[in-house]
Structure 1
Amino acid sequence: MQRLPARCSVRAQRRDEDRVLAAVRKAYPGTAVDRAVRTPMPGVYEIWMGANVAFVSSKNPRYMVFGRLVDLKTMRDLTDAKLRAARVIEAEPSERAADGPAYIGPMPVADAITVKRGTGRRVLSVFTDPSCGYCRQLEHELQKLTDVTIHYYLLPFQGREAPLAIWCAKDRPAAYAAAMGDAPMSVVREAICEHPIDRNQALAAKLRVQATPTLLFGDGALVPGVMSADELDARLSAMLDKSKIKEGVSDATLSFE
Structure 2
Amino acid sequence: MLLKLKIMAAGLALAASPALVQAQAVSQAGETAKPAQTATQGAATPETVRTAFEGRFPGIQIKEVRPTPFPDLFEVQIGRDLVYTNATAEFVLQGALIDARNRRDLTAERMEELSKVAFDTLPLELAVQQVKGDGSRKIAVFEDPNCGYCKRLHQTLKQVDNITVYTFLFPILSPDSTEKARNIWCAEDQAATWRAWMLDGIVPPEAVCETPVEKVLALGRGMMVQGTPAIIFADGTRANGALPLDALNQRLAAVK
Q: TM-score scaled to structure 2, two decimals?
A: 0.52
Cα drift, residue 131 of structure 1 = 0.7
Residues in 2 aligned to 1:212 and 1:235: alpha-carbon distance in whole angstroms: 18
1:130 aligns with 2:136: no
- Which of residues 157, 178, 190 in structure 1 aligns to 2:172? 157
Cα drift, residue 182 of structure 1 = 2.9
Residue by residue, what CA displacement relative to the aligned partner does 1:134-193 show, whole Å, maximum 9, x if unpaired?
1101111112111111101001112311111111111111111111123431465xx711
Secondary structure of the corresponding residue to residue 131 of structure 1? coil
Q: Given that residues 102 and 207 in structure 1 are in contact (C-alpha distance below 8 angstroms), is that contact kept between their aligned partners in structure 2?
A: no
| Aligned amino acid, residue 211 of structure 1 | G
Residues in 1 aligned to 2:201 and 2:154: alpha-carbon distance in whole angstroms: 15
Secondary structure of the corresponding residue to residue 204 of structure 1? helix
Alignment of 1:1-257 (within 5 A): 99-100=112-113, 101-104=115-118, 105-158=120-173, 159=175, 160-186=178-204, 188=206, 192-239=208-255, 242=256
Residues in 2 aligned to 1:194 and 1:205: alpha-carbon distance in whole angstroms: 21
Q: TM-score scaled to structure 1, two decimals?
A: 0.52
Secondary structure of the corresponding residue to residue 134 of structure 2? coil
Cα drift, residue 111 of structure 1 = 0.6
Please tell me whether Structure 1 or Structure 2 has the larger radius of gyration of its CA atoms: 2
Secondary structure of the corresponding residue to residue 225 of structure 2? coil
Residues in 1 aligned to 2:112 and 2:254: alpha-carbon distance in whole angstroms: 18
Q: How many residues align?
A: 145
Structure with larger RCO (C-alpha < 8 A, sep 6+)? 1
Cα drift, residue 218 of structure 1 = 1.5
How has the CA–CA distance of structure 1 residues 186 and 174 changed in structure 2, closer, same or farther, with 3 Å as cutoff? closer
Residues in 1 aligned to 2:199 and 2:217: alpha-carbon distance in whole angstroms: 24
Q: Given that residues 124 and 218 in structure 1 are in contact (C-alpha distance below 8 angstroms), is that contact kept between their aligned partners in structure 2?
A: yes
Secondary structure of the corresponding residue to residue 153 of structure 1? strand
Residues in 2 aligned to 1:182 and 1:103: alpha-carbon distance in whole angstroms: 32
Q: Given that residues 140 and 168 in structure 2 are in contact (C-alpha distance below 8 angstroms), is that contact kept between their aligned partners in structure 1?
A: yes
| Aligned amino acid, residue 202 of structure 1 | A
| Aligned amino acid, residue 237 of structure 1 | A
* Aligned residue number for residue 58 of structure 1: none
Cα drift, residue 121 of structure 1 = 1.2
| Aligned amino acid, residue 164 of structure 1 | R
Question: Runs of 4+ in structure 1 displaced over 6 angstroms?
Answer: none
Q: Given that residues 178 and 184 in structure 1 are in contact (C-alpha distance below 8 angstroms), is that contact kept between their aligned partners in structure 2?
A: yes
State the identity %: 33
Q: Given that residues 118 and 146 in structure 1 are in contact (C-alpha distance below 8 angstroms), is that contact kept between their aligned partners in structure 2?
A: yes
Q: Given that residues 124 and 166 in structure 2 are in contact (C-alpha distance below 8 angstroms), is that contact kept between their aligned partners in structure 1?
A: yes
- When the two chains are superposed, the root-mean-square deviation of aligned CA atoms in Å is 2.3
**Unaligned runs of at least 5 residues, structure 2:** 1-104
Q: Given that residues 114 and 149 in structure 1 are in contact (C-alpha distance below 8 angstroms), is that contact kept between their aligned partners in structure 2?
A: yes
| Aligned amino acid, residue 185 of structure 2 | W
Q: Given that residues 154 and 199 in structure 2 are in contact (C-alpha distance below 8 angstroms), is that contact kept between their aligned partners in structure 1?
A: no
**Unaligned runs of at least 5 residues, structure 1:** 1-93, 243-257
